[in-house]
């Protein structure tokens, strides 16, 4: 299984958006203590545009909405299929916050 993402592959100060590319990546496996969230909505906000133009962001999208796709061993706060709103979704794997919905 794979997913599609927008990724900043290179940076050119004259045209920072030229380095953005649509890429296909494998869906990660949930490691112990982590979850994999299938993002169903991810807006690109002005902060993302600033980060792209200043070469500080590789994958645009600092928030999103999704559904828990897989739950790692030891996770009890969420369940597969649950709707969640990961805050700073690119940071969830590194301990970012996840807010539950519905």
* The predicted structure's pLDDT at residue 101: 47
* The predicted structure's pLDDT at residue 62: 65
* The predicted structure's pLDDT at residue 58: 60
* The predicted structure's pLDDT at residue 57: 57
3-state SS record for 11-80: CCCCCHHHHEEEEEEECCCCCCCCEEEEEEECCCCHHHHHHHHCCCCCCCCCECEEEEEEECCCCCCCCC
- Per run of 10 residues, the mean pLDDT along the chain (length 102 residues) is 78 80 86 87 75 65 82 90 74 48 46
* The predicted structure's pLDDT at residue 11: 79
* The predicted structure's pLDDT at residue 89: 45
């Amino acid at each position: 299984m794979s997913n599609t993402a927008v990724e900043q592959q290179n940076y050119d100060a004259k045209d920072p958006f030229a380095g953005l590319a649509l890429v296909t990546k494998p869906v990660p496996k949930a490691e112990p203590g982590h979850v994999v969230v299938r993002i169903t909505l991810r807006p690109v906000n002005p902060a993302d545009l600033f980060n792209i133009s200043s070469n500080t962001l590789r994958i645009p999208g600092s928030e999103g909405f999704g559904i828990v796709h897989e739950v790692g061993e030891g996770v009890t706060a969420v369940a597969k299929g649950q709707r969640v709103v990961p805050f700073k979704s690119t940071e969830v794997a590194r301990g970012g916050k996840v807010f539950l919905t519905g």
